[in-house]
Amino acid sequence: MKHGWFIGALAASVLCACGGGPGAAPAPPPPPVPSPPSLSALGYALESGGRSGPRMLDEYPMASAASTRSFQEFGGAGIRFDPSGTLWSDQIGSFNGYHPDGSSAGTMNVQDQLRAFDARGMLYAASCCSVNVYFVGIGNAAVLLRSITTTPSFACSAAADGAGNLFVSFCTAGPGVFSIWSNLDEYAPNASGAAVPLVTNAVATGPVTVDAAGNVYAAYNGSIGIWQAGTFSAGAPDRTLPIAPGNTITDIAADRAGNVYAVTRAVPSSLSAPRTLLYFAAGSASAVTLQSGAIGSVTAVP
């Protein structure tokens, strides 16, 4: 079963011009052919599964079933990009890295669960009781800089903007293996220990991400809420993107071009129930379904 990397493709339109008789104005030149999408417009998804056994990271043109390249992974809990464009896959105890050309970037030995990288290259990872911030040096050596206490909740999702403001979505164990999301908090840059959040939004209950411009995207009241850079608050977002009624968001991503990606599943449903990868083109509130199946995590080139 293949679900994995997905890229947003650009559609070209054809413009026709009709000529006239003598003296008619010359036909306008044809429009330029769009270039292939750059890395700034790529979205990626990881096939879901247990914490052991093979599964594939596959790359697809948007809305196409033809895979262009694949990487076999074993286990894994999620995927995220660092600012250099290296893709990291959480292997539960270490992270595997892939350069943009698909070659190996080596391994990062971090026992925590991968959550995010910020624009400075800092790594944010979650343990049972904290969000831990690492500096990643030569040879993928991760050095712990500070920790933010999250007891008794667990940081199920986190993201940071270019200024270092940290957004953390909390959850607690729910029925079976699913989590019950609680709230989304914003922490000041360099927050540590039992830091008091700058903002708590009790309605934003689900995954969170931040794009290169600092806009915040989070699950909000059955939709995707978007707060413009610097405007995150305890109140309603600046705008929302709808998802199908009766569904919940399990992961979310946004690229620097403003395209948004979300993994959703029906509620209630079992762990093995199919999930859907949605794509919202920049500025659009209409979702395109890219794939459905055992999709676990989505990320986008920063």
Q: What share of the chain is helix, strand, coil (3-state, %, to 5)?
A: 0, 45, 50
pLDDT digits (tens, 9 = 90+) for 2-54: 333 332 221 222 222 333 444 545 555 544 433 333 333 344 555 544 434 44
Cα gap 159→144, rounded to integer Å: 17
Which tokens hold the place of 108?
Answer: 């990062």
Structural domains of the chain in order of their starting residue, each with its CATH number = 35-300 (2.120.10.30)
Please, are residues 97 and 80 in contact by the beta-carbon 8 Å criterion?
A: no
- Longest CA span, the chain: 81
Residue identified by tokens 């944010």 is: 124
Is the pTM higher than 0.85?
A: no
Taking only the tens place, the pLDDT of each residue in 221-276 is 999 999 999 999 999 999 999 999 999 898 999 988 888 989 898 887 666 678 88
133-139 — which CB contacts under 8 Å span 24+ positions? Answer: 134/110, 136/82, 136/108, 139/106
